[in-house]
A = this chain, B = another copy of it.
C-alpha cells in the first residue's frame, strides 16, 4: 500500500512525535530503534524537513522535531511526498482520466473503497495513531 520509503517516513514521524516532545531526536537513534538503514533514513527525514513536516537542527546536540503539532499533522502530509497516495492513481485500471463521466469498468464499485482510503490518509492525524499504539513499533 505504501512504498517502503513512505512507510519509513511514517514510522519516523511517529517516533519523533512520541520521543521528541522535550528533546531532539537523532537519525542514528531512530535508525537503530526502527531498524531502518541510517543514511537512507537520513535522506528521507530530510525530505520531510523540506516538506515542512519536521524541523532539523544541525551540529552537536542537533536532531529533529515536529514542525507541526501532532494533532494537526495528517498522515497524508507525511506520506504523499514519497508516492502517489491520497491523490493520483485513483483509477484501479490505471486510466489517466477516470471520473464519474468517463468511467472505467471498475469505477463505480472501486470509488467507494478508494474514497475510504483517501479519507483515512487525509483525516487521520499522527496524534490519533499514537493513541492506538499499544506496542509502539
B1 touches A89 (CB 8 A): yes
User: For residue A89, which residues in chain B have a CB less than 8 angstroms away from its CB?
Assistant: 1
Range of interface residues on A (Cβ < 8 Å) = 35 or more
User: For residue A128, which residues in chain B have a CB less than 8 angstroms away from its CB?
Assistant: 109
Q: State the copy count for this chain.
A: 2
B2 touches A105 (CB 8 A): no
A120 touches B124 (CB 8 A): no
Q: How far is the CA of A126 from the CA of B135 in the complex (A)?
A: 40
A110 touches B120 (CB 8 A): yes
- Selecting from A25-33, A41-49, A52-60, A90-98, the interface stretch reads A90-98
Return the CB mask of A96-137 against B: 1 if under 8 Å, else 0. Answer: 000000111111111001101101100010001110111111
Shortest A135–chain B CB gap in Å is 6
Q: How far is the CA of A129 from the CA of B111 in the complex (A)?
A: 12
Residue in B4, B109, B130 whose beta carbon sits within 8 Å of that of A105 in the complex: B130
User: For residue A14, which residues in chain B have a CB less than 8 angstroms away from its CB?
Assistant: 93, 105
User: For residue A104, which residues in chain B have a CB less than 8 angstroms away from its CB?
Assistant: 133, 135, 137
Decide yes or no whether A24 CB sits under 8 A from chain B.
no
- Listed by A's residue number, 9 A-B pairs whose Cβ atoms lie within 8 Å are A7-B92, A11-B93, A14-B93, A102-B135, A103-B132, A103-B133, A105-B130, A106-B129, A106-B132
